[in-house]
Amino acid sequence: MSAVLSPVEKHVDEAAVTDGFHLVIDALKLNGIHHIYGLPGIPITDLTRKAQAAGLRVFSFRHEQNAGNAAAIAGFLTAKPGVCLTVSAPGFLNGLSALANATTNCFPMILISGSSEREIVDLQQGDYEEMDQLAIAKPLCKAAFRVLHAEDIGVGIARAIRAALSGRPGGVYLDLPAKLFAQTLDAEAGKRSLIEVVDPAPRQIPAPDAVARALTLLKGAQRPLILLGKGAAYARADDEIRRLVERSGIPYLPMSMAKGLLPDTHELCASAARSFVLPEADVVLLIGARLNWLLSHGKGKTWGGKDAKAWGAQKFIQIDISPTEADSNVRIDAPLVGDVGSCVAALLAGMGADWPQAPSAWVQAVAERRDRNVAKMAETLAKDPKPMNFHSALNVVRGIVKANPDAMLVNEGANALDFTRSIVDMHKPRKRIDVGTWGVMGIGMGFAVAAAVETGQPVIAVEGDSAFGFSGMEVETICRYQLPVCIAILNNNGVYRGTDKNLGGGADVAPTVFVKDARYEMLMQAFGGVGVYATTPAELRQAMEDALRSRRPTLINAIIDETAGTESGRITSLNPQRQAAASKP
């Protein structure tokens, strides 16, 4: 009788020895990792070839930062570490910015880089691409490991997986020196050295007294508010969160990547009443959201200012898997440390059958404010200015997303980001992926590739013309893998807008201005995709519908008014000159 062999067993069965290459590949496969995002070159070219030969899908990019961003968002979308593979020194450094970004955003990711010979690096004798990569990576990620012996590859990858996924997820660096790959090992011993990680993201159950404290606070609230962050989206506790919101009747505000966790059209969604609910709420329940700059650190004008009645009197309950997150900006009255699913389930269990609905005066006040703002927005969206502006273009995207709720939405830019976030409703969880905690530019095409690969759904990428430039060359990657990605560039000829003047009066255009009427759509045509030049909402709509229907790589150059847009979008106040002006007595 012949047993059915797993891929690892088959490989071992066929060869008496294995090597570093195959141990890396087998360890990844054993742990359910079947995609590698990277860029081949010395010393990892053969690893990419052998990985492909062994059945992994290897997605080659044109720049490592984009491969790294793809791996990072793959981690968010699958709750398994996304793997990015790079060459040494410069390739490693390019991938490192994505690793740091992944860590900042709490996305699980492993950056695997080949490296030069330790003996030469440590004596600084000038090796090919010499760099002490491990030391450089350490402060920028959650954990960093190096494997020197082939028999330790299994442990190295297991440690990387655990570090990336357990507790607060994040980025892990794994350093694999060139010499490691060719090291050989008895195949049986090699197989035994691999580890299939058991329960890499253990549930963390909150303490009963912490749950009781949170419930007491919530029960006494007159104006409660739930704030959902991307940690809640990552946690995949969608049903529990919906039950908590609906059982309690508490209005909720989703952070941008938590949009769609409950539909943005839900009757308790307070997105369109943000500036009302933040200062007015008396008890705020944060679920997987940090009180960082995106929430004005929980204080100041956004939260009612020094004189407002709520400021300083507001109470916070915070659900977070990281025990050190509480009190990072303001006092957290009831920290609930644990995973979102377990914490929300514990709150629901503790609420019992007779839990009161949130006070109706408050819920109504929020709804009225929201409905008024939604009506105002509807008026603006109904206009048809010529040329198009952000609103009329995004009104089209809004309709397309509504008609295709399973499509993924990638979004980056300044105004292109801010307007999309507020105009385009999301209808399902984890469909919107964007610039995240850093508000970083350059995630666009990396995110688009991984979103298409990991979900199999069509991807709509709404890009500012400046933002697109950071990763634009990956349209070749999108065409090469024939991914169903539709890029809509909201093109106003520059950073923020295209009308700035050279303050010195010289011949150069202003630093924020690009080539007028640039034909971005031709970039997609150059690689066999569909390029469309769109100047009206009707043309934009037609092109997007065609793209979603055909699933062909498409780039729409949507020409909008070059005077549209404000400096830095909604974060003008963070520019130093504006800060100085604001702080003048």
CB of 338: closest distance to ligand ADP in angstroms?
7
568 binding ligand ADP? (CB under 6 A): no
Residue 435 binds ligand ADP (CB under 6 A): no
Amino acid occupying residue 402: K
Give the nearer residue to ligand ADP in terms of CB position, either 332 or 540. Answer: 332
244 binds ligand ADP (CB under 6 A): no
For the sheet with 143-146, list strands across it: 57-60, 35-38, 82-86, 109-115, 171-177, 143-146
Region from 254-262, 298-306, 348-356, 507-515 binding ligand ADP, contact rule CB under 6 A = 254-262
* Minimal distance, residue 141 CB to ligand ADP, in Å: 15
Using CB under 6 A as the binding rule, whether residue 240 contacts ligand ADP is answered as: no
Using CA atoms, how far apart are residues 200 and 72, in angstroms rounded to an integer? 17
Residue 58 makes contact with ligand ADP by CB under 6 A? no
Which stretch, 111-119, 271-279, 320-328, 375-383, contacts ligand ADP (CB under 6 A)? 320-328
* Per-position x/- string for 450-489, each x denoting binding to ligand ADP as judged by CB under 6 A, each - no binding: ----------------------------------------
Q: Which residue stretch of 175-183, 214-222, 317-325, 399-407 sits at the interface with ligand ADP (rule: CB under 6 A)?
A: 317-325
Tell me how far apart the alpha carbons of residues 555 and 185 are, in angstroms, rounded to a whole number. 49
Residue bearing tokens 């008024």: 372
CB-count burial class (<10 Å; 0-12, 13-18, 19+) for 274:
middle
- Residue found under tokens 């709520």: 310
Question: Among residue numbers 86 through 125, which ones bind ligand ADP (CB under 6 A)?
Answer: 105-106
Q: Which residues pair with 412 in a beta bridge?
A: 463
Q: What does the block give as tokens for 117?
A: 């010979």
Do residues 228 and 241 lie in contact, with contact meaning Cβ atoms separated by under 8 Å? yes
Q: Which of 8, 73, 102, 258 binds ligand ADP (CB under 6 A)?
A: 258
229 binds ligand ADP (CB under 6 A): yes
**Among positions 114, 231, 413, 446, the unique one binding ligand ADP when judged by CB under 6 A:** 231
- Nearest approach, Cβ of residue 365 and ligand ADP (Å): 24
Among 59, 61, 234, 447, binds ligand ADP (CB under 6 A): 234
Is 564 exposed, middle or buried, given 0-12, 13-18 or 19+ CB atoms closer than 10 A? Answer: buried
Which of residues 292 and 373 has its CB atom nearest to ligand ADP in the complex? 292
- Calculate the CA 195 to chain-centre distance: 29
Say which residues have a Cβ less than 8 Å from residue 362's Cβ, sequence separation at least 6.
222, 223, 224, 251
**Spatial distance between the Cα atoms of 269 and 251, rounded to a whole number of angstroms:** 6
Is 288 one of the binding residues for ligand ADP (CB under 6 A)?
Answer: yes
Smallest gap from residue 264 Cβ to ligand ADP (A): 15
Identify which of residues 345 and 483 has a Cβ nearer to ligand ADP in the complex.
Answer: 345
Q: How far is the CB of 204 from ligand ADP (least distance, A)?
A: 7
Residue 140 binds to ligand ADP (criterion: CB under 6 A) = no
Residue 226, beta-bridge partner list: 252, 285
Contact by Cβ (8 Å): 111, 142: no
Nearer to ligand ADP, 113 or 314 (CB): 314
Count CB atoms within 10 A of the CB of residue 456. 10
- Contacts with ligand ADP in 339-378 (CB under 6 A)? 339-340
> What angle (nearest 5°) sits at the alpha carbon of residue 575, between those of residues 571 and 579?
100
Which residue number has the CB closest to ligand ADP?
Answer: 231
Determine if 321 is a binding residue for ligand ADP (CB under 6 A).
yes
For residue 26, give every residue at least 6 positions away whose Cβ sits within 8 Å of its Cβ, in sequence order, or none: 7, 8, 11, 18, 54, 190, 191, 194
Residue 163 contacts ligand ADP per CB under 6 A: no
Instruction: Give me the residue label for tokens 């995609």.
Output: 35
**54, 131, 294, 377: which one contacts ligand ADP (CB under 6 A)?**
294
Cα 395–Cα 397–Cα 402 angle in degrees, nearest 5: 100
Closer by beta carbon to ligand ADP, 149 or else 168: 168
Rounded to a whole number of angstroms, the minimum distance from the CB of residue 231 to ligand ADP is: 2
Q: Are 407 and 452 in contact (CB under 8 A)?
A: no
Q: And the tokens for 177?
A: 């020196």
Q: Which residues bind ligand ADP (CB under 6 A)?
A: 105-106, 168-169, 229-231, 234-235, 255, 257-258, 288-290, 292, 294, 320-322, 325, 339-340, 437
